Amino acid sequence: MRGVKIVGTGMCMPKYILTNEELSSFIDTSDEWIAQRTGIRQRRIVTDENTIDLSVKAAKEATEGIDPLEIDLIIVGTVSPHQVIPSVACSVQAQLGATNAMAFDISAACSGFIYGSKIAVEAIRCGSAKKALVIGAEVLSKVVDWSDRGTCILFGDGAGAVLYEQTDVNKILAFDVGSNGMLGQTLSLENQAQNNPLIKNEYSPSFIKMDGRAVYRFAVNVVPISIKKALEKAQVNIDEIKLFVLHQANERIISSVAKNLNVDLNLFFKNLDKYGNTSGASIPIALHEAKSNLKNGDKIVLTGFGGGLTWGSIVVQW
């Protein structure tokens, strides 16, 4: 079986920093209230950028020094594309000049990067690709109800990218992925209403809706199980893991997972204080920022969880 490794990472964040203090100027909240409940101090939101812009910049950093014609596959995980057609991935392909790549988007919310990575890695393993670019990108600020304190304090915009490549010595050790659509409505974002010659609907914008307590219960239960399953498949002991890079949803979730696994919280990377919850973008952004602390041969775990409900873990040797 062909091996796979990570050969590049990149990220792009909007310039505008929306602090908790600024949020409290137009909604009933405070920096202390938000930070105590989530660990978030600020988030980035777009002004003149969009999902494509962020994706392209992250992709260019991840593929620096690579001939775009060598990229065989581009996958973008997003629930907030700039437009439905063409896909974000096809727009990225055009701007990179990666004319040999198959390109498409997937919708798996906060697990989008993990799902996209599984597709990309399996494509390389079966021989249909040698280099695959996976991007997580979101502009959630356009689908957040800025009058809803329960959601608007959480989310931010951004993009992260990872380039996978075929290699003789495999570095992607195992995956665990899953979904539970029966709980899907605990975190939802409606699409455009039916509108055809037989049905007429007035336009109304759709916003993210979330049952925060239900999502919290789901995450703290499913994430430790997923990590353990991935480690078992990889035949790696948990004490061999140098770093856990979880979806940056909530500091309390990360702390609960660490406690459940009986792992030192210091081994869990966190940057949600700066960026908030960027959904499918959070893991590649976090990985890009964490990599300066990684050494060749270190084993790490990447784990996503969220809308669908979906989840997934990857065991990687750096």
Q: What is the mean pLDDT of residues 301-308?
A: 96
Domains 3-169 and 173-317 share a fold: yes
CATH architecture of 173-317: 3-Layer(aba) Sandwich (3.40)
pLDDT at 53 over 80: yes
CA dist., res. 263 & res. 168, Å (int): 32
Can you tell me the distance from the alpha carbon of 61 to that of 177, in angstroms, rounded to the nearest whole number? 27
Domain boundaries, the chain: 3-169, 173-317
Task: Tell me the average pLDDT of the chain.
Answer: 96
Q: What is the pLDDT of residues 109-151, one digit of tens each?
A: 999 999 999 999 999 999 999 999 999 999 999 999 999 999 9
- Mean pLDDT throughout 241-270? 97
| pLDDT per residue as tens digits for the range 187-219 | 998 887 777 788 887 777 889 999 999 999 999
Return the SS3 of 86. coil
Q: How many CB atoms sit inside 10 A of residue 17's CB?
A: 15
What Cα–Cα distance (Å) separates residue 48 from each residue in 54, 144, 264?
11, 17, 41
pLDDT above 70 covers a percentage of the chain that reads 100
Mean pLDDT across the stretch 267-273?
A: 98
For 161-189, letters b (16+ CB in 10 Å) and e give bbbbbbbeeebbbbbbbbbeeebeebbeb
Summarize the confidence of residues 174-197 as an average pLDDT: 90
Looking at residue 205, what is its pLDDT? 80
Which CATH architecture group holds 3-169?
Answer: 3-Layer(aba) Sandwich (3.40)
pTM (predicted TM-score): 0.96
| Nearest one of 114, 219, 186, 155 to 18, comparing CA atoms | 155
pLDDT at 202: 79
Report the distance separating Cα 66 and Cα 70, nearest Å. Answer: 7
Model pLDDT, residue 40: 97
CB 93 within 8 A of CB 101: yes
- Residue 308, Cβ density class (10 Å: 0-12 exposed, 13-18 middle, ≥19 buried): buried
CB 159 within 8 A of CB 135: yes
User: What residues are annotated to the active site?
Assistant: 110, 247, 277
Question: Which amino acid would we find at residue 96?
Answer: L
